[in-house]
Structure 1
């Protein structure tokens, strides 16, 4: 699509992206991660049309994002405020859509209800709760404890008490929590970019407007949004020479999801850059984090079981790199009747942990002058080599890499990763099979055909003008 065929103005990007998210939301009404009583058979006509519609809309949204990226890199780029307006326009249809691309939001609601009912959410899965909320949780997670920290579980419990366990109100509430996290990400991104010497508009485009944020944080209501939002606010505070509030906020982010704890390394490094001695920087940051952890856990009343429950996201069929290699190794050893076959997956997980630690040390050693960028690469490393991965985990690193990447090549590569991962999950969050994969591809191809026809239609008047 040439710039002449599609004039790179902001209104075109807004309209095309809005058409994409509106189609996504409409398709999600029959093909999304619906409540159990509303689920349709995947072969039903409505579910088929919904699945095609979701991927049609996803390609339109991705095209709008690519065009917006060209506009951001043009000689007359939109202001950060204008980009925030684009985000609002694109996100609006997804706020009223059913959950998309994951059923995790139902787990959040059930876990919040468990905390509200004084059940040990780390020792028991939602099956212990019973009732309609627990019935919505995917079978894989019915008997597993929550891997989330007390801050998020306290939010979920408060929401459960406020909505009295009503599913529809709970879903709206969880989307509001996720939207608040995205708002914090949006507010902090320009400041992080300026501190890192990056263009705020380009950072917003890559780190907040990318399809993964819209699909998984807005439409999917994942708690990664509130983790990243708190992490961003904490880093902004530390960059503004307020390390202790920064350490508190980063700890709160880690008490939503544990990977954010790496932000404390950035807090210490920022203090060292400001001339503080290492021992006081470490002690004060550690003390602020410890006090925050104890206070938050006491307020939430959940205890410290989340430390032991951090292995919860590891499932037998997860497609993390170490899990895939572990399963392949186990299959090979089983062919030779080796007694080592059961050890293959745990061994690869341990190797992944070792590789992660080595890479983290190397990253911080080489990039100490760029702590925000180092933190982004560190979180990306944890996501890539950890024992579990989901498409939205890529946002852990992408958010900060967008703010601090030193060159455009890295940004282009991260944009490509985001674009590919946006296509990786079906809208109901279920496993992929051949038939539904074909329908998804059909929806995407149909969108490409429509965009190409629009391209030709836009070129036609220009060609006629030249002939005249």
Structure 2
């Protein structure tokens, strides 16, 4: 008979994993190229560090999975059910060790700092890449993105400019400040996601486990300092207010979220649909659109960044972006070249178009079944489709839809599939942010095996109340 895993035990297990991952990041993370920051002694141990990092990632993921198993086994008042305080403590254990680690799983934090410095220097971030800034910040951005305009809205660029001004271009302080901004967004999720879940008839504890405690949050919102944290925090607050019939405030907050990153704009559909039920079509459209446009105009005027972000929305479709659709396009082009055919950009354009048609199909289905699904669940499915089938996909993009799905999807297969997807996506990106070669893939696999063996040993050595059991 499997012994239940107590909260202190899975917090400790996940904290051990996060600590191993943080230490491994000093050798295998997205390290700066021009600054001797973080443990320079580990920079030449990138291969062993990669194995150690994947062992730690395995511990963290299994801790989360077993916490969910015990959540399902517990009754409505079970001790294993996370509330706000319990969730905050668990996040501190799982994300705290990553706060002082190097950037991990992408180099976007360096791009954020460079783009913030460009705003301070009055350079047009929507027309120019970081190469026009030059200096040490721009040097940390991968060469393929040196000429790429910023795809982010003025709210986030204003925050990035504030961070750059506050830290004076210091990399370590800048990364830490960006992580603190991301933590503010995560805090909004911790406080507001349970309330949104109650409005949608979903167990708040289950929503916290799937939407906030899943490994993608500490790995990418904290360690990676991604601006999705702020976007999702504002979006969830806005949708919660919409479900409480505060449509004007909801439209303002959802628009602010979209002015961090544009996918949040779909949240206005939820606000509008809920408003229609209460105040009628004309009033709902006028209130939602009016507050959204006023918010956009006010933010643009206050920040002084301009409306260039509208034209920069095509940046994610840049030729270096990767997604399911672009991967198929590259594969089709190489297959054609193997037969001596030069099809130019046609395979890529066709694959991207097919991916966008897939997004459209999901959107149409969500609209058709909107009354059965509910507006929040319907929009979460569309956001997932955009993240997975659009022209650019990253593991943390899945959080666009996953967080809302956690608050709105009924118990059953969709939640199980989402949980499995979150667990698997945590292993996709290397800590360095680059794709793996054969040796790195082998080391990552070995690290997973080491992590699983460690869990088995802990299960044998731990006393019965804290025995670690792999979920069935």
Q: Is the CA contact 1:154–1:300 (under 8 Å) kept in the aligned structure 2?
A: yes
State the distance in 2 between where 1:168 and 1:287 align.
41
Out of 349, 353, 356, the position equivalent to 1:350 is 353
State the distance in 1 between where 2:144 and 2:262 align.
21
State the distance in 1 between where 2:387 and 2:281 align.
28
State the distance in 1 between where 2:121 and 2:90 align.
41
Normalized against structure 1, the TM-score is what? 0.93
Cα–Cα, structure 1 residues 227 and 29, in superposed 2: closer, same or farther, change >3 Å?
same
Matches within 5 A, 1:315-394: 315-335=318-338, 338=341, 340-368=343-371, 370-394=374-398
Out of 407, 411, 414, the position equivalent to 1:407 is 411
Q: Can you give the 5+ residue segments of structure 1 that lack an aligned partner in the other structure?
A: 462-468
Matches within 5 A, 1:87-166: 87-166=91-170
Q: Secondary structure in 2 aligned to 1:263?
A: helix
State the distance in 1 between where 2:302 and 2:385 align.
32
Out of 420, 423, 430, the position equivalent to 1:426 is 430
State the distance in 2 between where 1:84 and 1:155 align.
24
Corresponding residue for 2:66? 67
Q: Is the CA contact 1:234–1:246 (under 8 Å) kept in the aligned structure 2?
A: yes
Corresponding residue for 1:24? 21
How far apart are residue 217 of structure 1 and its match?
A: 0.3
Corresponding residue for 2:421? 417
Q: Is the CA contact 1:333–1:341 (under 8 Å) kept in the aligned structure 2?
A: no
Q: Aligned pair count?
A: 458
Out of 291, 295, 299, the position equivalent to 1:292 is 295
State the distance in 1 between where 2:24 and 2:150 align.
30
Cα–Cα, structure 1 residues 250 and 190, in superposed 2: closer, same or farther, change >3 Å?
same
Corresponding residue for 2:469? none
Q: Is the CA contact 2:126–2:312 (under 8 Å) kept in the aligned structure 1?
A: yes
Q: Is the CA contact 1:334–1:341 (under 8 Å) kept in the aligned structure 2?
A: no
Cα–Cα, structure 1 residues 65 and 340, in superposed 2: closer, same or farther, change >3 Å?
same
2:401 matched to 1:397? yes
RMSD of aligned residue pairs (Cα, Å): 2.2
State the distance in 2 between where 1:51 and 1:195 align.
43
* Residues 323-373 of structure 1, C-alpha deviations (whole Å, 9 max, x = no match): 122222323444555564422212222232233223212202312351111
How far apart are residue 430 of structure 1 and its match?
A: 1.5
Out of 267, 279, 290, the position equivalent to 2:282 is 279
How far apart are residue 38 of structure 1 and its match?
A: 3.9
Q: Is the CA contact 1:42–1:48 (under 8 Å) kept in the aligned structure 2?
A: no
Cα–Cα, structure 1 residues 285 and 438, in superposed 2: closer, same or farther, change >3 Å?
same
State the distance in 2 between where 1:355 and 1:63 align.
32
Q: Can you give the 5+ residue segments of structure 2 that lack an aligned partner in the other structure?
A: 466-472
How far apart are residue 453 of structure 1 and its match?
A: 2.2
Cα–Cα, structure 1 residues 287 and 42, in superposed 2: closer, same or farther, change >3 Å?
farther
* Residues 114-144 of structure 1, C-alpha deviations (whole Å, 9 max, x = no match): 0010001011111100011111111111111
2:470 matched to 1:444? no
Q: Secondary structure in 1 aligned to 2:316?
A: coil
State the distance in 2 between where 1:304 and 1:53 align.
45
State the distance in 2 between where 1:334 and 1:109 align.
40
Q: Is the CA contact 1:368–1:374 (under 8 Å) kept in the aligned structure 2?
A: no
Q: Secondary structure in 1 aligned to 2:434?
A: coil
